[in-house]
Amino acid sequence: MSSRSTLRSHLLPTLALAYPVMLSQLGHVLVNVCDSMVVGQTGKVPLAAVSLSVSVNTVVMVLGLGLTMGITPLVAAADGRRDVAGLGRLLVNGVWLSLAAGVVLALCGLLVPQILPYLNQPAEVVALATPWVRVMFLSLLPLMVFQGFKQFAEGLGLTRQAMLLSIQANVLNAVLCYGLVFGKLGLPEMGMMGAAWATLLARVLMAVLMAAYVLRAVRLQAYREAAARNLRPDAPGLQRLVGLGSPIGVQMMFEMGAFSFSAIMIGWLGATDLAAHQIAINVASVTYMAASGLAAAATIRVGKHLGSQDAHGARQAGLAAYLLTFIFMSLMGVLLVLGRHSIPLYYNHDPAVVAQAASLLLIAAAFQVSDGLQVVGLGALRGLEDVKVPSVVALLAYWAAALPLGYVLGFRLGWGATGVWVGLLTGLTLVAGVLLLRFRRRPVLTAAPVNEAALTAR
């Protein structure tokens, strides 16, 4: 079979895995989209406060999410070699790790608000953002529980369940957000804080339903039985998960941290620029999370081929995800160009905010392909359990290149928010290019058969 036909054979299986993950991943960001759209109708200062809150919350959240992403490639590899005992241990260790991480992240909500007054943001924005941050950090506990069960199921290729649960939770969030912000549907009027409480309740529902699926589904019975032999976490298993997941979390923190710090820099320009930034980054995050669904599919398929000792298949699975991402993100770039003047109106009607957001959406359209290719590159490399070098690449590209360039363009040369966004475009392009080159040139070493249960033998 030729390389071309082999690559073509991976496209439909990748799409079949990716589209439920896309919708599930969109669930994370649609919470912020809904909050921003509803709160934005109350004014540009509350919308700017949401931007500041989300920027701070996201940096911590992605560290936790990345930590759980180490579960998926290990589950995929164990599934590829039919290691039921190993999958049972991964279920136990993954859930314990996610729960512990969720508790730590939620407690951060007691400390982070103390930092907000020192970020040189408008005083009225900080005043609204402080209570919002506390509630949003509390919501990270159920989110991490959801993630622990979700990453295990997705490693087995069971992606539709998380998708359906995310849709249900987002419908609940939208209804509660509307009711609590404006005092509709018989609910109390809470202003922008209503959106934060709506998010917390929706994430509790997601955690409960995802846990119920994994703990009750007939098709997962064998893994639950294997897990039930020892429900305590074990040091070797946790160490392996942390060793794979922590570089992923650090890489995601470097990336999202760069975007969050860019929001802080833009906040120095005033509430109008910060509100416009929130609109543009909110829209760009929708397409990013869709592309991250393809990245998750790449992780699963590359990891499974690696576990079954198929090096060529692992390579072709990753390249198929690259091709699909390039096509999808190119289309998204065109849509952003066409809709740059109308999309901001769904968030806010202030003429200055809308005009600035339209300019930023043009830059967002320009970095769609780079953004998509860098995230799918990360996914493909995770499938190969290659996570440390991408973290270094992210650190250098975003913090040594993108942010300094954005500061010079935005503040020294007077480009304002546009200059900061050009810096982000540069960073994304650098990461995308380096990761593509690494995936194409890195030797694919097939995974050695490892029995997870053996790691804990006493």
Rounded distance, CA 273 to CA 266, Å? 6
How many CA atoms lie within 13 Å of 26's alpha carbon, on the beta-carbon side?
19
Enumerate the domain spans of the chain.
Answer: 3-448
Q: Give the model's pLDDT for residue 324.
A: 93
Residue 224 has a pLDDT of: 94
Residue 5 has a pLDDT of 44
Residues of the chain under the 70 pLDDT cut: 1-6, 25-30, 32, 443-458
Residue whose C-alpha is closest to residue 71's, from 442, 423, 383, 328: 383
- Per-residue pLDDT at 88: 94
**pLDDT, tens digit, 9 for 90 and up, residues 125-165:** 888 889 988 999 999 999 999 999 999 998 888 878 888 88
Q: Considering the chain, what is the average pLDDT of its residues?
A: 86
Token output for 72: 């998926």
What letter does residue 258 receive in the DSSP assignment? H
- In angstroms, what is the C-alpha Rg of the chain? 21
Task: Tell me the pLDDT tens digit for each residue of 39-54.
Answer: 878 788 888 888 788 7
CB atoms inside a 10 Å sphere around CB 235: 10
The model's pTM: 0.72
pLDDT number for residue 292:
85
* Residue-level pLDDT at 28: 63
Cα dist from 84 to 310, 452, 456, whole Å: 20, 9, 14
Write the DSSP assignment of 124-179 as a string of letters. Answer: HHHHHHHHHHHHHHHTHHHHHHHHHHHHHHHHTT--HHHHHHHHHHHHHHHHHHHH
pLDDT for 109 equals 83
Q: What is the pLDDT of residue 325?
A: 94
Q: Which amino acid is at 346?
A: Y
Largest Cα span, the chain: 68
Residue 43 phi, psi dihedral angles, 5° rounding:
140, 165
Cα distance between residue 423 and residue 363, in whole Å: 10
318 within 8 A of 302, measured Cβ to Cβ: yes
Nearest to 33 by CA among 201, 170, 136: 170
Question: What per-residue confidence (pLDDT) applies to 198?
Answer: 92
* Cβ-count burial 108-139 (b if 16+ within 10 Å, e if not): bbeebbeebeebebbeebbebbbebbbbbbbb
pLDDT of residue 45: 84
Q: What is the pLDDT, as a whole number, of residue 400?
A: 92
Exposure of 9 in the CB half-sphere (CA atoms within 13 A)? 11
Pair 296, 340: CB distance under 8 Å: no
